[in-house]
Amino acid sequence: MTSYGQFCAIARAHEILGGRWTILIARELLCGSRRFNDILRGLPRISRTVLSERLQALIHAGAVMREEGPSGPQYRLTEAGQELSEVMTALAVWGQRRLPRDTAREDLDIEPVLVDMARRVRFDQLPAHPVIVRFELAKTRTRFLLLRKTESALCLRNVGFPEPVRVVGPLSALAAWWRGDVSFAGAQNQGLAIEGTRDFRRAFPDWFERYAFAQILPAPRAPEPRRAPIRPRTHARKAGARSA
């Protein structure tokens, strides 16, 4: 990696963390992903080669540790890596406060939204029996979210449980609700719909604790500076000028 040639700690840290995807890999590990494919699911546009390279760089920097798990290699943040949580929190708060929020104009993938939903389930609010939530959102592949009292899992297909809830509409509406841009009613006004029994339709929003920074509101817009009124220009008559 090319050095900035700077003594500054910000520059030196950015040499490690500033590469594309690096901070998002740390985010996935901080949120609980451990296996290579779990990280890929949260970052569907990263290649396996780039993910492997970024993980090796983080291991070399002492921020990540690789260890053997029961199903193969696993990764976890070291104490140094855990300290990055403050950096990510600051970035998230700034992004929520200062960046425009218009999911209809954003290029979004469905997996990061559903992966985060699976992580933030209120298990005490779930029905007694396992259920599958079927997501049929416009211009995306169908996905299934398995919910039961002891676990949640994002699936590419139904693993054999009932499907009492179906979520339809634009991905942008679901993402806007999840990120905290709009209320659930606001997302419904944007076309999001929950199909199923009346009890399940009412309960669905309460099955989840929304995005960790959903409560961060946009910063108030600074008032535009007042402009002085434009006065019409007057043309003085030259001395001695003849009148018409």
CATH topology of domain 9-97: Arc Repressor Mutant, subunit A (1.10.10)
Contact 41, 115 (CB under 8 A): yes
Between CA 149 and CA 131 the distance in angstroms is: 10
Task: Give me the amino acid identity at 198.
Answer: R
**Residue that is written with structure tokens 């983080």 in the block:** 58
**Residue that is written with structure tokens 């398995």 in the block:** 146
CA separation, residue 97 to residues 79, 81, 107, 174 (Å): 29, 25, 20, 20
Contact 14, 5 (CB under 8 A): no
Tell me, what's the pLDDT at 86? 96
Look at the alpha carbons of 197, 201, 202, 208 in this order and tell me if their dihedral is positive or negative: positive
35-57 pLDDT tens trace? 999 999 999 999 999 999 999 99
Tell me, what's the pLDDT at 235? 60
Task: Give me the amino acid identity at 46.
Answer: I
Q: What is the pTM of this model?
A: 0.88
**pLDDT exceeds 50 at position 6:** yes
Between CA 230 and CA 110 the distance in angstroms is: 51
66-88 pLDDT tens trace? 999 888 999 999 999 999 999 99
Between CA 155 and CA 144 the distance in angstroms is: 5
**pLDDT exceeds 90 at position 242:** no
**pLDDT exceeds 80 at position 5:** yes
Contact 132, 138 (CB under 8 A): no
Between CA 58 and CA 77 the distance in angstroms is: 9
Average pLDDT over residues 173-180: 98
CA separation, residue 138 to residues 61, 145, 219 (Å): 41, 17, 31
Tell me, what's the pLDDT at 71? 86
Residue ranges covered by each domain of the chain: 9-97, 101-207
**Residue that is written with structure tokens 């993938």 in the block:** 109
The β-bridge partners of 151 are 148
Tell me, what's the pLDDT at 69? 87
- Which CATH number among 3.30.1050.10, 3.30.200.20, 3.10.20.740, 3.60.20.10 corresponds to the domain 101-207? 3.30.1050.10
Tell me the three state secondary structure of residue 142.
coil
